[in-house]
Amino acid sequence: MGVSPNEIGIEWEKVYAERAKGMRASEIRELLKVAKQPGVISLAGGFPDPTLFPVNEIKEVTDFVLLNEGSDALQYGVTEGLKQLREILVERMRKEGADIGLDNLIITTASQQGLDLIAKIFINPKDTIIVESPSYLGALQAFNAFEAEFVDIRINKDGMDTDILEDTLKDLIFKKRIKPKFIYTVPNFHNPAGVTLSLERRKRLVELSEKYQVPIIEDDPYGEVRFEGEALPPLISLDRSHVITLRTFSKILSPGLRLGWIVGDPEVVRKIVIAKQAADLCSPSITQNIVYHFLKKGYLEPYLEKVRVEYKKKRDLMIESMEKYFPEEVKFTKPEGGLFIWASCPKSINTEELFFEAIQEKVAYVIGASFYAHRDIHNCMRLNFSLPSHEQIEEGIKRLGNLLKKKIGK
Ligand code: PMP
């Protein structure tokens, strides 16, 4: 209902809290609306391939849960999460080398809530945090909502540049007398950059965290979606006391379940439990029960294997198509896992302006500037290969390649 002519509407801008004034709608969500126009091939979103979802297995365990555990599954649960599920996840993390117990782990309503809770318990207005450049947009949004100041560290093919990180830490702590609250990193198949933090840099990163006493937030939704190369140790396995790890079922099973988990020092986990009580009391009991039985039945590994095989095919096809259709001036990453390829165009190309021309050509990507805390880089784009079909990948890259060639003057 709108405001009637005689009524004086509330000036909401004056009512909002300071922190809400700085909040902006996720550009990705806005752009995805444009990308959904009929005929547009979207290489934009970060959606898993829905044709692979294990619908039958989920149906089987859901039927089982409702038949046998319906009264628990439809009830509130404890804030920490379903104990049996937490136990399985502790075991999983131990296999990856993390020396943890039950009090190190809490279930969250997927990782986006994890990021929000981390921000809620650590960030005061104007606190400095260290992020990667580029960085995951949803994390920037979550931290921004608590009025963080961002210092960004460049990443290259081996992930965050730890030499620059050390110089930055020294400068902040000793010269500017600013102690950053944490260092936020996506170590595997980075969103958006597609790169992976090397073993050497992993070790250096935890050393720096210890030396300067700045915790690390390791956000790792994609580590298990590795389709090539050797798995690298998670940061939490290198240092249990300085690292807080966020994991999610979104990319390894289904984002619709809205389930993830955080691993960290028991003291931090207890604080997160309190923060989560105010946020949603508990994550959905029913999906926790479903996921628990899905894991117990051993359904996750075969599903993940299928995902890895199919995503590798799609990644290969996208890279092949980029080699064929993109002008050679455009450089791009070749991720060993995950969902994204990051393309860097010559500086003369502004991918924000190009986006609208791309939509005319009926192809969409995500504008690179959205992933920079200071929005200071304008020549990059993120391309997703998990959602589009093989035909869409080839045709979408061809359309984009032709547009880029025209811009470069080829
Ligand atoms: N972190 C990163 C790096 C992501 O890419 C995403 C999803 N795109 C999330 C967190 C949040 O995912 P979810 O809330 O579905 O777990």
Instruction: Quickly tell me which residue has 């300067």 as its tokens.
Output: 212
| Nearest atom (ligand 1) to Cα of 190 | 3
Binding site membership of 107 for ligand 1 (Cβ less than 6 Å): no
- For residue 248 and ligand 1, the question of a CB distance below 6 A is answered with yes
Q: What DSSP assignment string belongs to 343-383?
A: EE--TT--HHHHHHHHHHTTEE-EEGGGGSTT----SEEEE
d(CA 140, CA 137): 5
| SS3 of residue 190 by DSSP | coil
Distance of CA 23 from the midpoint of ligand 1 (Å): 19
250 CA: nearest ligand 1 atom: 15
Q: With a 6 A CB cut-off, is 255 part of the ligand 1 pocket?
A: yes
Q: Are residues 24 and 66 in the same domain?
A: no
**What pLDDT, on the 0 to 100 scale, is given for residue 18?**
85
Among 296, 314, 344, which residue terminates a domain? Answer: 296
Beta bridge partners of 105: 263
* Neighbouring C-beta atoms of residue 168, cutoff 10 Å: 18
Please give the DSSP secondary-structure letter assigned to residue 337. B
> Cα of 59 to ligand 1 centre, how many Å?
25
**262 forms bridges with which residues in the sheet?**
106, 246
Please work out whether the CB of residue 134 comes within 6 Å of at least one atom of ligand 1. Answer: no
Determine the residue of 26, 27, 112 to mutate for testing ligand 1's pocket, defined as the one with the most ligand atoms within 8 A of the Cβ atom: 112
Angle at 72 between CA 67 and CA 74, to 5 degrees: 85
Per the structure, the count of domains in the chain is: 2
Q: What is the pTM of this model?
A: 0.95
Domain assignment present for 7: no
Amino acid at 76: Y
Show which of 242, 275, 296 is a domain's final residue. Answer: 296
Sequence-distant (6+) residues with CB within 8 A of 198 are 158, 159, 232
Q: Is 386 in the pocket of ligand 1 (CB under 6 A)?
A: no
The reply to whether 3 falls in a domain is no
Q: Quick one: 252 and 306 in the same domain? A: no
Q: Are residues 225 and 355 in the same domain?
A: no
Q: Which tokens belong to 396?
A: 């979408």
| Residue 67 placed within a domain | yes
Q: Interhelix angle for 55-73 vs 285-296, to 10°?
A: 130
- 28 and 91 inside one domain: no
Instruction: Report the residue among 218, 222, 250 best suited for mutation to probe ligand 1: largest number of ligand atoms under 8 A from its CB.
Output: 250
Is 188 in the same domain as 84? yes
Are residues 83 and 148 both part of a single domain?
Answer: yes
Range of the domain at 195: 55-296
Residue 8 lies in a domain: no
- The angle, 0 to 180 degrees and rounded to 10, between the axes of the packed helices 390-408 and 300-325 is 30
Which of 400, 384, 410 shows the shortest CA–CA distance to 326?
400
Are residues 190 and 337 in contact, defined by beta-carbon separation less than 8 angstroms? no
How many angstroms is it from 116 CA to the middle of ligand 1? 11
288 and 266 within one domain:
yes
117 CB less than 6 Å from ligand 1? no
Name 127's bridge partners.
none
pLDDT at position 2: 57
Q: Please report, for the domain that includes residue 337, its CATH number.
A: 3.90.1150.10
Q: Which two tokens stand for residue 376?
A: 């200071």
Ligand 1 pocket, residue 110 CB under 6 Å: yes
Q: What is the CA radius of gyration of the chain?
A: 22
**Inter-residue contact 256 to 267 (CB < 8 Å):** no
Distance in Å, CA 19 to ligand 1 centroid: 22
Say how far residue 145 (Cα) sits from the centre of its chain. 17
Question: Domain holding 140: CATH number?
Answer: 3.40.640.10
C-alpha of residue 255 to centroid of ligand 1, in Å? 9
Helix, strand or coil, per DSSP, at residue 154: strand
Based on the domain organization, do 254 and 227 belong to the same domain? yes
Q: Is the CB of 191 under 6 A from ligand 1?
A: yes
Which is it for strands 260-263 and 243-248: parallel, antiparallel or unpaired? antiparallel
Residue 371, token pair as written in the block? 């992933």
CB-ligand 1 contact for 221 (6 Å cutoff): yes
Closest CA to 201 of 214, 188, 219, 220: 188
Q: Are residues 339 and 249 in the same domain?
A: no
Centre of ligand 1 to C-alpha 366, Å, is 15
Asked if the structure places residue 6 within a domain, the reply is: no
Whether 268 and 242 have beta carbons less than 8 Å apart is answered as: no
Q: Using CA of residue 273, residue 276, residue 278, residue 283, what is the dihedral sign?
A: negative
Q: Are residues 87 and 112 in the same domain?
A: yes
Three-state DSSP state, 98: coil
Residue 281 lies in a domain: yes
pLDDT at 28: 66
Burial 220-234 (b: 16+ CB within 10 A, else e): bbbbbbbbeeeebeb
Q: Ligand 1: distance of its center to the CA of 285 in Å? A: 21
Probe residue for ligand 1, chosen from 29, 191, 246, 339 as the CB with the greatest number of ligand atoms within 8 Å? 191
Per-residue pLDDT tens digits of the chain, which is 410 residues long: 555 666 788 988 889 988 887 777 666 667 777 777 889 999 998 999 999 999 999 999 999 999 999 999 999 999 999 999 999 999 999 999 999 999 999 999 999 999 999 999 999 999 999 999 999 999 999 999 999 999 999 999 999 999 999 999 999 999 999 999 999 999 999 999 999 999 999 999 999 999 999 999 999 999 999 999 999 999 999 988 999 999 999 999 999 999 999 999 999 999 999 999 999 999 999 999 999 999 999 999 999 999 999 999 999 999 999 999 999 999 999 999 999 999 999 999 999 999 989 999 999 999 999 999 988 899 999 999 999 999 999 999 999 999 999 998 86
Domain-ending residue, one of 263, 296, 329? 296
Give the whole-angstrom CA distance, residue 136 versus residue 225: 17
Residue 46 CA: nearest ligand 1 atom is 8
Q: Is the domain of 235 the same as that of 212?
A: yes
* Distance (Å, whole) CA 279 – CA 108: 10
**Quick check: 409 and 348 in contact, CB under 8 A?**
no
What's the CA gap between 143 and 33, in Å, rounded?
Answer: 24
Tell whether ligand 1 has an atom less than 6 A from the beta carbon of residue 185. no
206/350 same-domain check:
no
Biggest CA pair distance of the chain: 68
Output the pLDDT for position 29: 67
